[in-house]
Amino acid sequence: MEKRFKKQIMLSEVGIEGQERLRKARLLVVGCGGLGNTVLPLLSAAGIGFIRVYDHDIVEESNLHRQYMYSKSDLGKHKALVMQNILYRQNPECHIEAYAQKLSFSYISDAMREIDLVIDAADNFMVTYLLSDKCYEMNIPFISASVLEFEGYVGAFCGGGPSYRSVFPKPSFSNNNCNNIGVMGPVVAIMGSIQAEMAINIILKLSKPTLGNLFHIDCINWRVGQICFDDAEEPEQKTIISLLDRESLKVDDYLVELRDEIEAPISVNSHVIRVKPENIENSNFPTDRRIIFICKTGIRAIKAAYQLQFKGYTNLGIIAD
């Protein structure tokens, strides 16, 4: 061990004791895309002993400009399984537990089992809020990043500090993502590198607090900003809209499908009520049942849920299906 990590162990903040802490650490990383392609190899190379990985996506050619750990021979393969092999070749002593599936409400407890720290590399608001809520409940540090075009942010939440919801109480209603407006690969790598270093700092318990800090980097204007939010207040429980999946539905849920039959000929079940998003405001909904809105990405669903919350409804949920 000492030979492989010699230059790292030389640091007074690490040493043999710190390297052993890294070896004993158990991390959950959700996402093997652009952020994951940087954060996962860096953590494995640093000597993290166990990493559980979730990603349901497959490698596509349009990924390769920023997801540089993959090659053309990996096209069509599950990212999580390809990454598992890459990391094993890099450091066989790092145990990688890979799941080629989507992380959702029903699987979150299993995903977090015996985990010390969670990294959100999915860049998906549903996953971010799910992970933050569970990390806050379990008092586990949570590191999340998001990147678009030439800028991004990364922050450290929970684990005794404020949750992601304390800084971002409501998800953005924008449909903008790297699939429709683009992203620059090196910017993604910068954010992934910061995520990895934040995780290592927390594991090593370095003196300067990492939790409760958010960094924003703009690589067009070359600006770096930092926000300390360690005194941010948590939102009231009644303002939190549940992020659900098919498996978590109950028989008496009132299901509202926001897509028409052309976009979604088959919904989560046959009992859905179809309502156009523009008609939500003037529609009547029951007050004695949980109301669940359904769409593909969750954006339309979260908009509809907040419309009802503004009208006084509190038992609300959404599904991205």
What digits encode the pLDDT tens for the residues 266-283?
998 888 999 999 999 888
* SS3 call for 80: helix
Q: Is pLDDT above 70 for 186?
A: yes
Q: Is pLDDT above 70 for 177?
A: no
**8 A C-beta contact, residue 40 and residue 32:** yes
What digits encode the pLDDT tens for the residues 25-47?
999 999 999 999 999 999 999 99
Highest mean pLDDT among 64-68, 77-81, 277-281: 77-81
Mean pLDDT of 307-320: 92
**Chain mean pLDDT for the chain:** 92
Mean pLDDT of 254-276: 92
**What radius of gyration do the chain's Cα atoms show?**
21
Mean pLDDT of 110-123: 95
Q: Higher pLDDT residue, 269 or 110?
A: 110
> What's residue 175's pLDDT?
62
- The set of long-range contacts for 306-314, using a CB threshold of 8 Å and a minimum separation of 24, is 306/170, 306/241, 307/280, 307/281, 308/280, 309/239, 309/241, 313/285, 313/287, 314/238
Q: Is pLDDT above 90 for 182?
A: no
